[in-house]
Chains A and B, each alone.
Chain A
């Protein structure tokens, strides 16, 4: 489908949605779905039939996507997830999976706490770095400590295959034209459950260093994806800061 074009950013720009470039190998799962709907959406993108009533496709499904999918859903405790992007199973030749969850974070404003100050506080409390996301102030930090915007540090939850986290990187940013919410993009890189390794996957003794390098590479991919993040206005036009002529 052709893009709806672009428009230069002005003081009156109000973001209605966003766009981001997603590399091959990721599947997108819209927010607001329950687990069954989410599974069907992801399966459709992978060109596989969704898990059948008989459950014939379920074991493979659970092994390949269960932990990442479950994790993404479990993170959305407030139902504010816009989209999740998941690797389509462990990266080939590894047992590493990752998810990126994009969510809005409602913020109550008061005379003492504006949004910029809230972001800046992450610099002090989380060692965050300030940067600009699609023309708006943003911060980014690594690590699992403290609260994350998309629902805290819950590690999956009941019924979700365990996932050993390797990296987490969180972006928190202002949204063009809105002063009552922020947006967060949370990258989680993890190791799929060892006990449930799919047949043909590498064994559990994958070189730890190699796994670390894969995780670092995924962090780089995440940063590259974040650099493609743009707001879209109510007419779905991409909002750009770049000179138009």
Chain B
């Protein structure tokens, strides 16, 4: 790595009407602690939702409280939450310095997971505006105690100096087509810029 590489950062341009950036450190998004951030976020999501109820607000408060307590390093997390009644999807952007052969590394990022798929995902090539070509797969897993399948979208890109892996938990297979469009758009909004 050169010093120049270390001065680069990931810029993630997201649509704030559908994605809620989750805190990695505090202060976050102008809030010094989880409490005020959770309150403000619940209010913002409820305002853009028809039929927000007291129950749905308290449910979202619980979800955000849990997520605010969990802050893995080298990872940025977003919650797909266009509406308080829409089942949220957790999106994770993981990145580290690029290592090894590009194609091998990207395939491994799409294919390998803690949650074993029922079948290896079909790996497709995607094209992004700023990061160039990458790979995408849809993984389907069987979850204990549940008859259904659990779908996860996985993207892998080499954006020098980083390898970037984006994964988004979708829930049931029926949600895949709609979320593919959303997450494709999200991934297209990622770029590498000089760090401030």
Contacts and interface: CB of A to CB of B under 8 A. Distances in A.
A124 interface: no
B142 interface: yes
A2 B144 contact: yes
B119 A21 contact: no
Given A21-B173, A245-B107, A245-B111, A6 B119 contact: yes
6 contacts: A1-B142, A240-B120, A242-B121, A242-B122, A244-B120, A245-B111
Interface in A1-47: 1-3, 5-6, 21, 23-24
B68 interface: no
B149 interface: yes
Could you say which interface size class chain A belongs to? 10 to 19
A5 B122 contact: no
A238 interface: yes
* SS class, residues of chain A in contact with chain B: loop
Given A3-B142, A6-B118, A245-B108, 7 more contacts: A2-B142, A5-B116, A6-B120, A238-B119, A240-B119, A242-B122, A244-B120
Contacts of B149: 21
Contacts of B118: 3, 6, 238
A1 B146 CA distance: 7
Interface of B: 107-108, 111, 116-123, 142, 144, 148-149, 173-174
B120 A243 contact: yes
A194 to B, nearest CB: 31
Contacts of B174: 23
A1 B143 CA distance: 7
A230 interface: yes
For the complex of A and B, the 4 pairs showing the least CB-CB separation, nearest first, are A242-B120, A3-B142, A240-B119, A3-B118
A23 B148 CA distance: 9
Given A21-B149, A21-B173, A242 B144 contact: no
